[in-house]
């Protein structure tokens, strides 16, 4: 009798989970309703537990801005794994690598230490990736891109992973000189969410774990995806991207993409791209935070 009752309880639980699992349409509707009247072009993609997928404008291309530093880091990590190299390996820098007219906390620190005039500038690869992912350092990104042998190699690696709609075309220096090139470094929300999901689930070697630790302590975008995620005591590993102010005063792009681990062990990946925003920075970041809140509240109240 007890076994019979337990079987019924388990069956009802599984039926309940199954019913809610098929109810991702409610999340789709919530996201569509929220985005519909916004004065910006917005793309969102969410992949829950590696399977349930929800997207709004998910197959459209958006400029990544500094989100593109994430695939650069993955391509560099793959080269190090293939060659048996450690992230402790030093990377040489030249003074001409350290542009002072761009965002680069790494360069500011080197200048402050009076090392810029030396011929032996070096930094460990882990430090370089840390500057690139945690602080979105532009010079660090271009040095990492050079180490990986350029944008063609990053694109080749992404295709090897099965990620076809993330395109890495230009360096930060090139984008700084010609802002229109920012649009060439593009991704669909679905492709970026898939890349985040694949990295989160399938890459657990020592180098990847180091990268995850860096992403989970990211210092940028605290008012974007992170805001509701941290309140829920969940873990977020992510990379942000921010564009230029356009001549008409609108913001080119404000982005955030990452993976989330809930306290109960469930996980999801998420990409939010906002292009041509008619709002100020705080308001645009608040849109990302609200989308993040909609998603995490949905996953916390549903059995997936």
Catalytic residues: 66
By CB atoms closer than 10 A (0-12, 13-18, 19+), residue 180 is exposed
Cα distances from 90 to residues 69, 134, 144, 231, in angstroms, run 19, 19, 12, 38
Sheet-wide strand order for 235-242: 52-56, 41-48, 267-277, 251-261, 235-242
Q: How far apart are CA 44 and CA 47, in angstroms?
A: 10
Supply angle C-alpha 188, 147, 66, rounded to 5.
30
Answer yes or no: are the C-beta atoms of 294 and 27 closer than 8 Å: yes
Cα distances from 94 to residues 43, 97, 139, 148, 204, in angstroms, run 39, 5, 11, 17, 33
Following CA atoms 35, 295, 246, 68 in sequence, which dihedral angle do they give, to the nearest 10 degrees?
A: -140
List alpha helices for the chain, DSSP H. Answer: 2-21, 24-35, 69-83, 105-112, 125-134, 138-147, 151-160, 172-177, 189-202, 206-215, 226-231, 281-301
Residues in the chain, total: 304
Helix (H, G, I), strand (E, B) or coil at 54: strand
């Amino acid at each position: 009798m007890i076994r019979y009752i337990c079987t019924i309880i388990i069956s009802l639980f599984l039926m309940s989970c199954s019913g809610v699992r098929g109810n991702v349409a409610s999340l789709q509707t919530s996201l569509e309703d929220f985005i519909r009247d916004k004065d910006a072009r917005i793309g969102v993609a969410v992949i829950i537990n590696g399977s349930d997928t929800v997207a709004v404008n998910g197959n459209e291309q958006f400029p990544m801005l500094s989100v593109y530093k994430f695939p650069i880091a993955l391509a560099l990590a793959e080269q190090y794994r293939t060659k048996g190299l450690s992230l402790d390996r030093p990377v040489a820098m030249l003074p001409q690598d350290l542009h002072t007219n761009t965002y680069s906390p790494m360069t500011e620190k080197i200048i402050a230490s009076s090392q810029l005039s030396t011929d032996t500038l070096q930094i460990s690869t882990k430090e370089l990736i840390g500057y690139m992912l945690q602080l979105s350092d532009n010079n660090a990104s271009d040095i990492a891109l050079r180490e990986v042998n350029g944008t063609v190699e990053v694109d080749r690696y992404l295709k090897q992973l099965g990620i076809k709609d993330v395109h890495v075309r230009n360096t930060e220096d090139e984008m700084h000189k010609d802002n229109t090139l920012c649009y060439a470094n593009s991704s669909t929300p679905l492709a970026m969410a898939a890349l985040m999901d694949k990295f989160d689930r399938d890459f657990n070697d020592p180098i990847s774990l180091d990268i995850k630790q860096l992403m989970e302590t990211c210092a940028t975008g605290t008012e974007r995806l992170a805001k509701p995620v941290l309140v829920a005591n969940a873990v977020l590993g992510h990379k942000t991207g921010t564009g230029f102010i356009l001549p008409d005063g609108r913001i080119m792009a404000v982005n955030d993409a990452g993976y989330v681990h809930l306290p109960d062990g469930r996980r999801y990946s998420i990409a939010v791209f906002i292009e041509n925003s008619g709002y100020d920075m705080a308001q645009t970041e608040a849109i990302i935070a609200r989308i993040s809140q909609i998603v995490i509240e949905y996953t916390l109240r549903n059995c997936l």
